[in-house]
Homo-oligomer: A and B are copies of this chain.
């Protein structure tokens, strides 16, 4: 493969001059520059990013640590959306992305910092990490620039992007309350997720705001999966048939609840109102279409990348970026009889 040395030899100049010519420095004659560029094209030269990075001390790549990059991550397209957002912004800024594998056991034995340092990524975006993941404290302790998705960690070199999960949940409850619902239950995710805590808080705040009673036994975890949510919703609905509305911490779980309702012969939304969270693609395609709190996940990725580059270049001391969310009223909510 052609190197800068080859060009130098052919052009009869030093490698220094070739380097400076190709990188647009001013102290090289216009003619020599032309000649060098010409030769570079002829012998199909392309610079070796490895060698460059080695001396420049930056790679123009940012690492991606994503936990949900597994087969069933396809249903909720959140991971994908965030990824495209990141990709979009990074692409426009000339950064490439490298995907780290956290799924395989092979990689798990390497620490977070090792992963990043080996590849010498300039920064990292972390997605889908749980509160109790050992990686998390390592992220905080290491000095690698990093932004988390939906995990509030702040630092000299780490920030995060999220949405206002308590406000989002309150929107859901207000909507339900306006429709006259009183007996409202909640299917939450699991305790290892930051958003679960927030969404529960929003649920409770919304309930007291509306003057409604909170039945703590009506708040159950659905593990963020359709199947588990279906199961717990089923039991919930048999045990407490007076429930007329369920707020779910994710759309996928809302789909599970719909299924449970169907099995019990409860019609949605006539007998049971449901509101989800996320606005995944499925939400608007399913029948009846799901009322939900929409998050602009693409934008979350986009802003995460933006924030990371700002931390990287120290152009800004901002460390957190909050994205709007929005209630989308569709067909799974109806006035309470």
Chain A contacts to B: CB under 8 angstroms:
1, 44, 46-51, 53-54, 59, 61, 69-71, 73-75, 77, 79-81, 83-84, 87-88, 90-92, 94, 96-101, 103-104, 106-107, 113-114, 117-120, 255, 281-282, 285-287, 298
Question: Are A96 and B94 interface neighbours, CB within 8 A?
Answer: no
CB nearest to A288 among chain B residues = B287
| Residues of B with C-beta under 8 A to A101 | 87, 90-91, 96
Q: How far is the CA of A117 from the CA of B50 in the complex (A)?
A: 10
Q: How far is the CA of A33 from the CA of B75 in the complex (A)?
A: 48
Q: How far is the CA of A80 from the CA of B285 in the complex (A)?
A: 19
* Smallest CB separation, A199 vs chain B (Å): 23
| Residues of B with C-beta under 8 A to A59 | 50
Question: Are B71 and A84 interface neighbours, CB within 8 A?
Answer: yes
| Residues of B with C-beta under 8 A to A281 | 74-75, 281-282
7 contacts between A and B (CB under 8 A): A46-B117, A49-B120, A50-B59, A70-B88, A87-B103, A97-B98, A285-B285
CB nearest to A287 among chain B residues = B287
| Residues of B with C-beta under 8 A to A51 | 54
Question: Are B46 and A118 interface neighbours, CB within 8 A?
Answer: yes
Q: How far is the CA of A92 from the CA of B88 in the complex (A)?
A: 28
